[in-house]
């Protein structure tokens, strides 16, 4: 598989969030690129599927910075839906919403109408686990993606945010996780 190192639509979607995301921008951008490439490695996607994955990926975690929270799934959906509406893609709203809200589900997502939801979950988990959970993706591709798109403190930043959340909400330590 050829790594997609420059995806114009992804750049178009991410760039406006650079100021909001701030010092975490490079890490988030690289995370998104890695997970998009993992999705493409897991399935030979057609152009529409790729577009959906790219849109969902760009927005899937932005609620962290919009709301300054790790309870970020719903806040991440809002700008994604606004983008879909603005670009006459509202018919994708249910699928993109599920891709975002279910991407931290622990068990596989069985949604026959929207198989990209499970693919997206796998792509994110592959990156979040730093390649420990591979879903059959070759270790050499994982290594290549880590070089092409360095972590840039992304996982460390998430850990720090999660710790601060836990200290304030010990009875709800991981609100973004779902069974």
Contact 103, 60 (CB under 8 A): yes
State the Cα–Cα distance between residues 117 and 5, nearest whole angstrom.
23
> What pLDDT does 70 receive?
73
> What pLDDT does 91 receive?
98
Instruction: Please write the tens of the pLDDT for every residue from 123-132.
Output: 999 999 999 9
> What pLDDT does 154 receive?
85
The residue extents of the domains of the chain are 8-168
> What pLDDT does 165 receive?
61
Q: Which regions of the chain are under pLDDT 50?
A: none
User: How far does CA 43 lie from the centroid of its chain?
Assistant: 16
Phi then psi for 89, rounded to 5 degrees? -120, 25
- What is the pTM (predicted TM-score) of this model? 0.93
> What pLDDT does 156 receive?
81
Closest CA to 103 of 73, 78, 133: 73
> What pLDDT does 175 receive?
66
Angle, alpha carbons 179-64-113 (nearest 5°): 45
């Amino acid at each position: 598989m050829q790594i997609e190192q420059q995806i114009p639509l992804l750049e178009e979607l991410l760039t406006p969030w650079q100021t909001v995301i701030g010092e975490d921008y490079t890490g988030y951008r690289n995370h998104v690129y890695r997970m998009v490439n993992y999705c493409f490695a897991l399935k030979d996607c057609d152009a529409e599927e790729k577009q959906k994955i790219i849109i969902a990926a760009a927005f899937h975690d932005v609620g962290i910075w919009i709301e300054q929270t790790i309870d970020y799934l719903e806040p991440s959906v809002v700008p994604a839906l606004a983008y879909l509406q603005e670009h006459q893609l509202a018919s994708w709203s249910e699928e993109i919403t599920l891709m975002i809200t279910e991407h931290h589900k622990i068990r596989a997502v069985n949604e026959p109408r929207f198989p990209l939801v499970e693919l997206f979950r796998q792509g994110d988990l592959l990156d979040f686990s730093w390649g420990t959970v591979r879903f059959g993706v070759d270790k050499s591709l994982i290594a290549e993606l880590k070089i092409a798109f360095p972590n840039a403190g992304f996982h460390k930043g998430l850990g720090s945010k999660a710790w601060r959340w836990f200290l304030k909400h010990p009875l709800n330590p991981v609100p973004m996780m779902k069974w």
